[in-house]
Structure 1
Amino acid sequence: MPRSVPAATAALRVLRFLSGQPVPVSATRIAGELGLPRSSAYHLLAAMADEDFVVHYPDDRTWGMGIAAWEVGHGFARQEPLARLARVPLARLVDRVGQSAHLVVLHGADVLYVIEERAPGRPPLVTDVGVRLPAHLTASGRAILAALPGPQVTALYPGKGAFTSRTGAGPQSPTELRRLLVTTRQRGYATEDGEVTEGFASIAAPIHAGTIHASVAVTWESRTAVGDLVDDVRATAAEIARRLRHT
Structure 2
Amino acid sequence: MQTIDRAMQVIKVLNESDIKRWYSITDLSKECKLPVSTMHRLLQSMIKHGLVQQDPDLKLYSMGNTWLEYGLKMYDTFDFVGLIRPEMEKLMHEVEESVYFSKPIGLEALLMERIDCPHNPIRIYDQLGLRIPMNIGAANKVMLANMPKDEALKIVNELVTEKDSESFLQLLETIRKQGYGESHGEKTKGTSSVAAPIFNHSNELIGALSIGYVNFNLSVERQRFLIEKVIQYGLHISVKLGSKK
Coarse TM-score class (shorter-chain normalised): 0.5 to 0.7
Contact 1:99/1:122 (CA < 8 Å) preserved in 2?
no
Is 1:100 matched up with 2:98? yes
Q: What corresponds to 1:131 in structure 2?
A: 130
Q: 1:172 to 1:189 in 2, by over 3 A?
A: farther
**Identity of matched residues, %:** 21
Contact 1:100/1:218 (CA < 8 Å) preserved in 2?
yes
Letter in 2 for 1:147: N
Q: How many residues are matched? A: 164
Secondary structure of 1:137's match?
coil
2: CA distance, partners of 1:134 / 1:189: 18
Shift of 1:212: 4.1
Contact 2:142/2:197 (CA < 8 Å) preserved in 1?
yes
Secondary structure of 1:206's match?
strand
Q: What corresponds to 1:60 in structure 2?
A: none
Contiguous gaps of at least 5 residues in structure 1: 1-72, 165-170
Contact 2:101/2:113 (CA < 8 Å) preserved in 1?
yes
Q: How does 1:1-247 map to 2 (within 5 A)?
A: 77=76, 81-120=79-118, 121-159=120-158, 162-163=159-160, 173-209=164-200, 210-225=203-218, 227=222, 228-245=225-242
2: CA distance, partners of 1:126 / 1:110: 19
Runs of 4+ displaced beyond 6 Å: none
Q: TM-score, normalised by structure 2?
A: 0.61
Secondary structure of 1:136's match?
coil
Contiguous gaps of at least 5 residues in structure 2: 1-71
Contact 1:137/1:196 (CA < 8 Å) preserved in 2?
yes
| Greater radius of gyration (CA) | 2
Secondary structure of 2:79's match?
helix
2: CA distance, partners of 1:124 / 1:149: 33
What's the Cα RMSD here?
2.5
2: CA distance, partners of 1:82 / 1:212: 12
Secondary structure of 2:241's match?
helix
1: CA distance, partners of 2:205 / 2:168: 22
Letter in 2 for 1:134: P
Once the two structures are superposed, residues 160-209 of structure 1 have per-residue CA deviations (whole angstroms, 9 ceiling, x without a partner) of xx249xxxxxx973223202101111211000000011110000000122
Contact 1:112/1:133 (CA < 8 Å) preserved in 2?
yes
2: CA distance, partners of 1:149 / 1:245: 19
2: CA distance, partners of 1:153 / 1:183: 14
